[in-house]
Structure 1
Amino acid sequence: MLTNTYEEAIVVEASLTNELKNQQIKITKTSRFEDTSIKVETGAEVIVKDDQNNSYLFEEKSGVYVSQTIFQILSGRQYTLTIKTKDGNVYESSHETLTTVSPIQSVVPSVVTNKDNQTGIQINVNSYDPTRTSKYYRFEYEESYKIIAPRWSLSKLIVTGPQSVELIPNPSNTRTCYTTKNSTDIILLNTNDLNEDRVNLPIRFIEENNYIIGHRYSILVKQYVENLAAYNFHKTMRDIASSASVLSPKQPGVLSGNIKCISDSNVKVIGYFDVATVSEQRIFFNYTDLFPGRPSPYFNTCEDIPFKFCFDGEDCNAESMIYNVERNFMTYFSNAGSSYILVDAVCGDCTSFSSNVKPSFWID
């Protein structure tokens, strides 16, 4: 089914913070619902200025606009975003000032049973602003976890000919892997209805049998303090958007933000230029820390599948074994003579679905 009506607009995702770093701005175009990819707005001139005559130029790198120099958003200054696209349109944001700094106090995991009667680990983020000037919060998290292939073997089976195989030493770097994923939901909280400007937010629940906590798990939580207008914009986005991305270009209608096309008032733009303080905290925990004495969960049952390596006879299935080994569908676990035991590749080689590169922040 094709979209009958379609109005192209640029989509701006700009959240600059008080972190001293290369700030990033993402500029894309709206897509038809039947489109399978997101179109990046290339060749734009992007600049952020403050009221002290400082200018920060952004350059395009891998579909994202990155500041040429590191800088941070400072308290008491006004910042404006200007974008000139290659079609000549000029877009400008309202003047924005930095919000209150409110540090995260703690990120705490605990074993709970939720309202759906599921037992698991609830991760809460806590903060407190005694001045009651923060009020509007947005959260993101990045979770990383260690994976150990449960049916890894010291030996690896390789195909050496049309009807021959050989066992060789299995590289140890296929046993332990690490996966990192970012949150995709828009997570918001305001404390207006509370007696204190205090955050105690359940930000992530993981069921007890989820393999991602089976060995060692880490979560980095980021807390952004926003102004009311930015909070309301993200709240509207959350209400109408899917959780496919934090700011999805595939939206019904046009959402009004604080960015306008000043060269042509008829040109639409979606997005918000947000300057916010950010605080972050990372924690680690092992499965045994919270579920002592229990076996680690894994996402695959890891069934042992027998193969008899012969080519003639009713019980022979060497051709099937070679097929699965050559295509990395299965890996070797053990053998007794010509009888081999294989397992699904995800059970014997974690690099089949994850990375064996340990993250720089990882602490065992």
Structure 2
Amino acid sequence: MRGIKNIFKISIAWTLVIAQSCIEEIQPPSIEQTESLLVVDARISDRPINQEIILSRSFQLEEEPVFETGAEVFLEGSSGIRFNFLETQPGTYVSESALVINPSEGYSLNITLSDGSSFGSEQEFLPRKVEIGDIEFKREFNGFDEEGVGIYVKNSSTNGDPNFFRYEYEETYKIIAPNWDPFEFDVVRYEPCFPDPFVVEIKPRVEETKTCYASYSSRDIILASTEDQVENEIVKSIRFLSRDNYIISHRYSILVNQYSQSVDAFSFYESLDDFSSSDLVFSQVQPGLIDGNISAKNNSSVDVIGFFELSSFSSKRVYFNYEDLFPGEELPPYAVNCETVGNPRLWPEAYHCFAEGICDGNCNSPLIDQILAGTLVFAAEKEDDFLSPFFTLPSPCGDCTKLGSNVVPEFWSEE
């Protein structure tokens, strides 16, 4: 491992909680003595897309993140090729064009801040590409005796050399509102102390609110290596979903992204994962040491935390239905409780008008206020009760757009 002298200050809002280095380790100063450090998130893959690098400043727990603006950022290849990154929003620098990384060429990251401070990385090479293996899901119990679905990636090295991987995933799932109704509320009039001051009717729904989709991306550091595995094979747990998790109630999909890493990048993220899993990541009191590969060029007193990584990318998507694994069994509980039906008042208690247009009592309609706030949906009409003429439910029970989008993802498949 290359010897690098690091100084570490935790930035809780960023995944990069690391430190800058040189040759011998030094005792880092306390947080009160530590100046704001440059935080570099520079993970570049061989995907032919416009890629981004994020620059920010370390900050303490109670502070807001500060992004580094006005910097010059570029990658430089050993052949002299240069890839410029332009700032598209504060602290986010995006490559001018889709990057085409040459596997036989070394690349370094160069950053010059608006104050003239400059930073550079060691030269990195693209690791050998390894296609992602099988993605498997199975009904099982986890280590806490909780039943659910385990999702695994199975991979192997074909050339006999150890491989190092970092994984990310994006899960997408179908949501079906359990109490969807083809009608919705229509607030016709809300004018206290005028004739017919509170008028609510129902009308047919126009927008799709029964079936939606939601997506979330992983935030954990997920690493795996074939280094100590028999026959260079790995079986890595990517995700466990409790059978009571409503997101698997109907159809669930997971896209697993695999990044083949260098041993140094793997060691970096492994150290970061070990540290961030401790209570210290929330305290910002105790500093630590983690090797990085970015250093100051023209000012040795300026500290930077981060790692410039080149990785080979591969991905695979799988789907399953709840019925596939739990045939004929009760669905998981919905995201909200839809068992209790409401019956809010249309006409407020103690409603009184002093004169036309002048209300001197309680002038707000509880029902209309909640309709306008989007917190409830129509369930049924209540006959012979003009004060509280409707039954209601929490809005997600009949409107899936409260939990997701009614736009079907382009990649979605029901097969």
Q: Decide: shared fold, TM above 0.5.
A: yes
1:165 aligns with 2:211: no
Distance change (3 Å), C-alpha of 1:336 and 1:111: same
Native 8 Å contact 2:46 2:313 kept in 1 = yes
Q: How much has 1:296 moved relative to structure 2?
A: 2.8
> Counterpart of 2:41 in 1: which secondary structure?
strand
Matches within 5 A, 1:205-354: 205-241=240-276, 252=287, 255-297=290-332, 298-307=334-343, 311=347, 319-337=365-383, 338=385, 339-354=389-404
* Alignment partners' CA distance in 2, 1:308 and 1:14: 53
Please name the residue that 2:123 is paired with.
95
Distance change (3 Å), C-alpha of 1:308 and 1:267: closer
Q: How much has 1:310 moved relative to structure 2?
A: 6.0
Q: 2:87 aligns with which of 37, 60, 71?
A: 60
Q: How much has 1:132 moved relative to structure 2?
A: 2.9
Distance change (3 Å), C-alpha of 1:230 and 1:312: closer
Native 8 Å contact 1:90 1:263 kept in 2 = yes
Which amino acid in the other structure matches residue 370 of structure 2?
N
Q: Deviations over 1:172-202 (max 9, x none)?
A: 4122221111100111122222122212101
1:355 aligns with 2:401: no
> Counterpart of 2:50 in 1: which secondary structure?
coil
Q: Which runs of 5+ in 2 are unaligned?
A: 1-30, 191-197, 279-283, 351-363
* Alignment partners' CA distance in 2, 1:312 and 1:87: 62
1:147 aligns with 2:183: no
> Counterpart of 2:273 in 1: which secondary structure?
helix
Q: How much has 1:204 moved relative to structure 2?
A: 0.1
Please name the residue that 1:8 is paired with.
36
Structure 1 vs Structure 2: percent identity of aligned residues? 34
Distance change (3 Å), C-alpha of 1:41 and 1:254: farther
Native 8 Å contact 2:259 2:313 kept in 1 = yes
Native 8 Å contact 2:346 2:367 kept in 1 = no
* Alignment partners' CA distance in 2, 1:312 and 1:49: 69
After TM superposition, the structure 1 stretch with the greater mean CA deviation from structure 2, 148-157 or 186-195, is 186-195
Native 8 Å contact 1:241 1:251 kept in 2 = no
> Counterpart of 1:305 in 2: which secondary structure?
coil
Which amino acid in the other structure matches residue 81 of structure 2?
N
* Alignment partners' CA distance in 1, 2:411 and 2:174: 13
More strand by share: 1
1:44 aligns with 2:90: no
Native 8 Å contact 2:162 2:227 kept in 1 = no
Q: Which runs of 5+ in 1 are unaligned?
A: 244-248
Please name the residue that 1:246 is paired with.
none
Native 8 Å contact 1:157 1:166 kept in 2 = yes
* Alignment partners' CA distance in 1, 2:342 and 2:68: 53
Q: CA RMSD in A?
A: 2.3
After TM superposition, the structure 1 stretch with the greater mean CA deviation from structure 2, 180-189 or 127-136, is 127-136
* Alignment partners' CA distance in 1, 2:177 and 2:314: 35
Q: How much has 1:227 moved relative to structure 2?
A: 1.3
Distance change (3 Å), C-alpha of 1:157 and 1:100: same
Native 8 Å contact 2:344 2:366 kept in 1 = no
> Counterpart of 2:343 in 1: which secondary structure?
strand
1:132 aligns with 2:194: no
TM-score (norm 2): 0.80
Native 8 Å contact 2:39 2:306 kept in 1 = yes
Q: How much has 1:313 moved relative to structure 2?
A: 8.5
Q: How much has 1:253 moved relative to structure 2?
A: 5.3
Q: How much has 1:242 moved relative to structure 2?
A: 5.9
Q: How much has 1:128 moved relative to structure 2?
A: 1.1
* Alignment partners' CA distance in 2, 1:29 and 1:362: 38
Native 8 Å contact 1:29 1:39 kept in 2 = yes
Native 8 Å contact 1:155 1:170 kept in 2 = yes
Distance change (3 Å), C-alpha of 1:90 and 1:306: closer
Native 8 Å contact 2:348 2:366 kept in 1 = no
TM-score (norm 1): 0.91
Native 8 Å contact 1:153 1:334 kept in 2 = no
> Counterpart of 1:321 in 2: which secondary structure?
helix
* Alignment partners' CA distance in 2, 1:228 and 1:40: 30
> Counterpart of 1:104 in 2: which secondary structure?
coil
> Counterpart of 2:230 in 1: which secondary structure?
coil
Please name the residue that 1:175 is paired with.
210
Native 8 Å contact 1:139 1:188 kept in 2 = yes
> Counterpart of 2:134 in 1: which secondary structure?
strand
Q: 1:24 aligns with which of 33, 52, 60?
A: 52
Corresponding pairs, count? 353
1:185 aligns with 2:220: yes
Q: How much has 1:261 moved relative to structure 2?
A: 0.7
